[in-house]
Amino acid sequence: MQSTHGKFRPSRLAWLLALALSGVQAQESTVVLGEVTVNSGNTGTLPTRSILTSVDVMGAERVKDKNVANSWELIGQMPGVQLTEFRLGAESGKPSFRAFNGEGYINGIKLLIDGVPSNVNSGNMRYLDMIFPLDIDYVEVVRGTNDPRYGLHNIGGNINVATRQGGNHLDGRLTYGSFNTRELQAALGRESGGFAQNYFVAKQDTDGYRDHSRSEKYSLGGKWFYTSDAGDLKAGLIARIYRQEAESAGYLTAAELGANRFQSPARNGNDHDNRDMQQLSGHLDYQIAPSLAYSGKLYYNAIEDDRRVTYSGYAGSTLPRQRRLWNEEHTGWTNTLTWQSSRMLAVEGGFNYEHQNNRYQRYRYAYALPSDFSTPASTPNDDSYTLDNFGAYIQAIIKPGDAWKIVPAIRTDTFKGHSTLNATGQTYPLQDYGWINQPKLSVVYSPSPAFSLYGNWGRSFQVVTGSRNPAYLLPGTATVRPSINTGIELGTRFRPLERTEARIAIWQQDATDEVANLPSAGTTQNLGETRRKGVDFQITTHLADKVKLWFSHAYQEAKIVGGYSAGGTSLIGKEVFSTPRTITNLGVDYQATESLRFDLQGRAQGNYYIDDQNSQGKYGGYVLFDGGVHYALSKHVGIDLQVRNMFDRKYEYAWYDNFFYPAGSYQPMFSPGAGRSVYASLNLKM
């Protein structure tokens, strides 16, 4: 049943600002951070920013010289993006937005790499670790429910990380820094006679900022593309492999955190993670006729992950000590056909098919100090399961006049699959969701080149994932309906001054039958009806030619407004756990001379409740600053120095352990963030 709790009412402030600035400009509602050129080549397919309304694009100049342990940290520079920082070996964290947290219970953000769907079955973003900063061309974030191109996991929006293609270059970056961190990145591009080839290699080793947190990883990639002389055909292949071996320092109790925040307790002495990932994709863009274009992608994603983890020191149960093994293979095909009828009308439609062939094994172990992963005490999971998704959409881009753009759309998805319990050989079907229909509508009004007013409305969906109930109909499993998310957004993008642009957006998203589901732990909770809402503000400006400033602030909340209870206590009115109310970003770039540049970035997140009853207090807030100095010795050689967490602020990720500890002993657990760290890099560009 769809929520009927109130109606969305936009803030009067945003409307007054919009009206006051209606004489001053923006052609679209996209905001670009840094220098970037986003286009669709010569094939006639429509770029995202010409279709959708709440889009941010971050260019390579904002990421290529950043030192990060994991690439998901780079996306934290973008407006309204929350970072959930586990930082336990290869299971390190991920970005999210629109009040969907990154805990793994409600994975509401679709990830794409070069347009290829790249979530694992649960919705987590592990494939993002394959991409290193020097290989990124741009990052594109689409917020809200109005994007019809994707279905599964596209609940609150999507992130597309586009890597470098074409060109003639040889770029290298060699880094050494705190915690004995060593990193090498190299990118090679060669293009001639319509044939482009790109190669990338990266290797990162670090001892880690905590005890028992050593990590070694590498990534290799190649791209080969052919473009016809007329430019009407582009075809290519992208291949990547990645491996990481990482120790895991484990979670700390409050007492352990206070005693030594960078320790690794003895119980975690054998915790580690070995992860291998591969991606292979074929790409075809073809201009069939002057007004008709086709784009298609075939892809194969594979991951093998062996994680040994100890969640707590409780000695009375095998629950805290587990070995988890994932083997997933996803094969898919995406297709898009674009018809540019006239300047006033374009129609785009497409379909996708994805087949997942997965296996999940989970073992529990008896208490030992440290955990002994040699002989399992029990096997809660040894499951082989499939998931097949077929989805199709159509949207029209209608321009009845120079000032208007109207984009109606509809998408539909259906799912099939089965799960086999390997211990017994019994097979069970996937929940029957039927066809999940998702209508959408976007409108942009641009009365002048310096001002746009936009709105969108749409529906997206959540289906539960994993290898057992509630995703599959094992005996006693109740029927589960898809959770339907209905979102609305009103916003304005304007240019109050020359070389300054800003955007204000007010949004709300209501969900029916939402489920907090953590397949890896077999933990599921029906949340019922939820409401997420917020206000986003961002501004970028250039002061003369030497100084760039940007600032963004997002206020958000996620509450349960109807439905289920937990332990006999109603959750209505409670906030969804691990969702901060505020997310703030700011930064400045100062080009002191042609060769010398300084930059400073700040990022803040508010505290959040860690339990569903909101009774255990708030944790997790922080304010962090990073700074850098960059000096070009010549046009081919440069050096830079970066300081992260420059004020050495203490901060940590927190969660409430009411699963591994017995009742009466529940307590918060912490994963501390790094203190101040310093990195020096040598950059080569040929």
In tens, the pLDDT along 264-292 reads 999 999 999 999 999 999 999 999 999 99
Residue 27, pLDDT above cutoff 70: no
Q: What is the pLDDT of residue 566?
A: 60
Residue 141, pLDDT above cutoff 80: yes
Residue 23 lies in a domain: no
HSE of 282 in the Cβ direction (CA atoms, 13 Å)? 4
In tens, the pLDDT along 579-610 reads 999 999 999 999 999 999 999 999 999 999 99
Higher pLDDT, 35 or 147: 147
DSSP codes of every residue in 518-538 = EGGGTEEEEEEEEEEEEEEEE
pLDDT confidence tier of residue 662, bands split at 50, 70 and 90: confident
In tens, the pLDDT along 444-460 reads 999 998 999 999 999 99
Measure the CA–CA gap between 420 and 440, rounded to whole angstroms. 37
Instruction: Indicate the helix (H) or strand (E) that contains 16.
Output: helix 12-20
Residue 547 lies in a domain: yes
Residue 604 lies in a domain: yes
CA torsion sign for 668, 672, 673, 676 is positive
Residue 237, domain CATH = 2.40.170.20
SS3 651: coil
Q: What is the pLDDT of residue 11?
A: 36
Cα–Cα–Cα angle for 178, 183, 184, rounded to 5 degrees: 155
In tens, the pLDDT along 166-224 reads 999 999 999 999 999 999 999 999 999 999 999 999 999 999 999 999 999 999 999 99
Q: What is the mean pLDDT of the chain?
A: 91
Q: What is the mean pLDDT of residues 488-505?
A: 93
In tens, the pLDDT along 51-67 reads 677 889 999 989 999 99
Residue 465, amino acid: T
pLDDT confidence tier of residue 44, bands split at 50, 70 and 90: low
In tens, the pLDDT along 514-552 reads 998 888 888 888 888 999 999 999 999 998 889 999 999
In tens, the pLDDT along 201-212 reads 999 999 999 999
Maximum Cα interatomic distance, the chain, rounded to a whole number of Å: 72
Measure the CA–CA gap between 131 and 185, rounded to whole angstroms. 11
Measure the CA–CA gap between 159 and 55, rounded to whole angstroms. 10
**Do 484 and 511 touch, CB atoms closer than 8 A?**
yes
Give the position of tokens 């679209």. Answer: 28
Write b or e for each residue in 549-565: b if 16 or more Cβ atoms lie within 10 A of its Cβ, otherwise e. ebbbbbbbebbbbbbbe
Residue 45 lies in a domain: no
Closest CA to 685 of 641, 630, 629: 630
Give me the sheet containing 157-163, strands edge to edge: 31-33, 55-59, 136-143, 157-163, 109-113, 116-117
Q: What is the pLDDT of residue 40?
A: 40
Q: What is the pLDDT of residue 14?
A: 34
Q: Among residues of the chain, what percentage have pLDDT more than 90?
A: 84
Residue 2, pLDDT above cutoff 60: no
In tens, the pLDDT along 95-134 reads 999 999 988 888 999 999 999 999 999 999 999 999 999 9
**Which structural domain range is residue 216 located in?**
169-592+599-624+652-661
* Domain total of the chain: 1
Residue 155 lies in a domain: no
Residue 71, amino acid: S
- Please state which of the ranges 263-277, 459-473, 658-672 shows the lowest mean pLDDT: 658-672
pLDDT confidence tier of residue 35, bands split at 50, 70 and 90: low
Residue 124 lies in a domain: no
In tens, the pLDDT along 279-333 reads 999 999 999 999 999 999 999 999 999 999 999 988 888 999 999 999 999 999 9
In tens, the pLDDT along 409-421 reads 999 999 999 999 9
> How many CB atoms within 10 Å of residue 41?
18
Q: What is the mean pLDDT of residues 388-413?
A: 96
**Is the bond into 439 cis (omega within 30 degrees of 0)?**
no
pLDDT confidence tier of residue 48, bands split at 50, 70 and 90: confident
Residue 388 lies in a domain: yes
> pTM for the whole thing?
0.93
Residue 77 lies in a domain: no
pLDDT confidence tier of residue 165, bands split at 50, 70 and 90: very high
**Do 587 and 547 touch, CB atoms closer than 8 A?**
no
Give the position of tokens 């050593």. Answer: 214
pLDDT confidence tier of residue 5, bands split at 50, 70 and 90: very low
